[in-house]
Amino acid sequence: MNSPLHVREFEKRRSEASPLVRFMGVQKSYDGTVLVVKGLDLDVTRGEFLTLLGPSGSGKTTCLMMLAGFELPTAGEILLDGRPISRLPPNRRGIGVVFQNYALFPHMTVAENVAFPLSVRRMSRDVIATHVRRALDMVQLKGFDQRKPAQLSGGQQQRVAVARALVFEPELVLMDEPLGALDKQLREQMQLEIKHLQQRVGVTLVYVTHDQAEALTMSDRIAVFDRGEVQQLATPTELYEAPRNAFVAGFIGENNRLPGTVISADGEWCTVKLEDGPVVEAVRVGEHGPGDGVILSLRPERISPLADAGRHANRFPAIVEELIYLGDHLRVRVSGVGRSDLVMKIPNQAGDLALRVGSSVHCGWRREDVRALKDDPR
């Protein structure tokens, strides 16, 4: 507090430049044989909403618990604000945590729950009351302060947990699948509420979920986890548009997976011969060359039927096998390019697209929209 001005200025600049959290080669094994987290390198920038997304068991919670201090890394180091925190006990890290089942103290009222982090910091009663009121206002729980958690709905309990994690103004808040127990509608509403709250308060948030739609809705950046490794760390747009491997392509959004063999590769582009099918031009992702097996990833909404398919480099005849009317769009399964499970999504603009089961169509796609990914070793 009393350090000279230039030192403070230096500290400030340093802290603005450096990431808030840095995982450096962090590994974790519970049983000494299986690595649950394999060499994690990850920076969390100040003020961002970073999501760890991945299937169940991929090590997301483990990463979060290491950051919170409830698990020790087997190897590597975690820096918080540039300082290693391996030796810092969890209660001195000043990180707000929202647990999946809210973890509200059942014997305390809502107000006592939210006051807890302030009272253990020995703040005066008046200050605590003011902060608690403000925090409960922030999550729209005015007037609920004397209730016990059991007297609240799931969504309200969730809000209390968020208020409690934010009330002591931590720089960093962690949330582990906080919306997992809510129904779909409430979950979608809470996604936006939490997102807006994070933006308003300006806190750095590391969020864990296995729901890709949730991750896309909320995040500034997403780290896609699989088997203890980050498969790709990028913005939602980039993840969807430019998945780096077959796992990410499959996990984020829907895609058609077409296995094939590279015929020629040249810088950014390549041509691929599909199994039992034609030759396709595609974006070359990663290092692969002639003879290598690849998976072509093609989003259903990027396949267009009918006349305008003619504009594209990739254009093939197909037969409509199944039509599903979904209101805003049609899901069409066609057989073509040697497969019978090619799915397209067609926006419902004309009301009737004159497609019938059994009718022949031409479908085509731009070569920018199909990505040749190295074959998944699985």
Q: Which residues bind another protein (CB under 8 A)?
A: 68-70, 89-97, 99-101, 103-107, 116-117, 120-121, 148-150, 164-165, 168
Binding partner of residue 59 among Mg ion, ligand ADP, another protein, none, CB under 5 to 8 Å per kind? Answer: ligand ADP
Number of residues that bind ligand ADP (CB under 6 A): 10
Binders in 14-43 for ligand ADP, by CB under 6 A? 30, 36
61/113 with CB nearer Mg ion:
61
Is 178 an interacting residue with respect to ligand ADP (CB under 6 A)?
no
Residue from 60, 159, 221, 288 binding ligand ADP (CB under 6 A): 60
Query: Residue 36 binds which one of Mg ion, another protein, ligand ADP, none, with CB within 5 to 8 A depending on kind?
Result: ligand ADP
Q: Of 139, 133, 231, nearest to 178 (Cα)?
A: 139
Q: Which residue is nearest to Mg ion (CB)?
A: 61
Residue 150 interacts, among Mg ion, another protein, ligand ADP, none and using kind-specific CB cut-offs from 5 to 8 Å, with: another protein
Beta-sheet strand order (sheet of 329-336)? 304-305, 360-365, 314-325, 329-336, 339-347
Least Å from the CB of residue 61 to ligand ADP: 3
Which residue in the shown chain puts its C-beta closest to ligand ADP? Answer: 61
The distance of closest approach from Cβ of residue 33 to Mg ion in the complex, given in angstroms and rounded to an integer, is 21
The yes or no reply on residue 58 touching Mg ion (CB under 5 A) is no
Which one of 6-14, 58-66, 161-169, 240-248 is the stretch in contact with ligand ADP (CB under 6 A)?
A: 58-66
Which residue of 56, 91, 124, 237 would you call a contact of ligand ADP, by CB under 6 A? 56
- Partner whose footprint covers residue 99, from ligand ADP, Mg ion, another protein, none (CB < 5 to 8 Å by kind): another protein
Residue 105 sits in the site that holds ligand ADP (CB under 6 A): no
103: number of Cβ within 10 Å: 16
Applying CB under 5 A, which of residues 51, 58, 61, 156 lies at the interface with Mg ion? 61
Residue 70 as a binder of ligand ADP (CB under 6 A): the answer is: no
Q: How far apart are CA 272 and CA 270, in angstroms?
A: 7
- Categorise residue 375: left if φ over 0, alpha if ψ from -120 to 50, beta otherwise: beta
User: Is 62 an interacting residue with respect to Mg ion (CB under 5 A)?
Assistant: no
Q: Which two tokens stand for residue 92?
A: 């001195």
**Residue 345 C-beta: closest distance to another protein, Å:** 38
Tell which residue, 333, 335, 358, has the closest CA to residue 343.
333
The answer to whether 209 contacts Mg ion (rule: CB under 5 A) is: no
Neighbours of 50 (CB within 10 A): 21
Torsion-angle region of 24 (φ positive above 0: left; ψ -120 to 50: alpha; else: beta): beta
Q: Which stretch binds ligand ADP (CB under 6 A): 54-62, 77-85, 127-135, 340-348?
A: 54-62
Q: What length does the chain have?
A: 378
- Distance of alpha carbon 377 from alpha carbon 263, whole angstroms: 20
Nearest C-alpha neighbor of 36 from the set 54, 59, 53, 13:
59
* Residue closer to ligand ADP, measured from CB, 4 or 32: 32
In angstroms, what is the minimal distance from the CB of 37 to another protein?
A: 19
- Establish if 67 lies at the interface with ligand ADP (CB under 6 A): no
- Rounded CA-CA distance 152/150 in Å is 6
For ligand ADP, which residue of 51, 61, 198, 209 counts as binding (CB under 6 A)?
A: 61
The contact set with ligand ADP (CB under 6 A) reads 30, 36, 54, 56-62
The contact set with Mg ion (CB under 5 A) reads 61
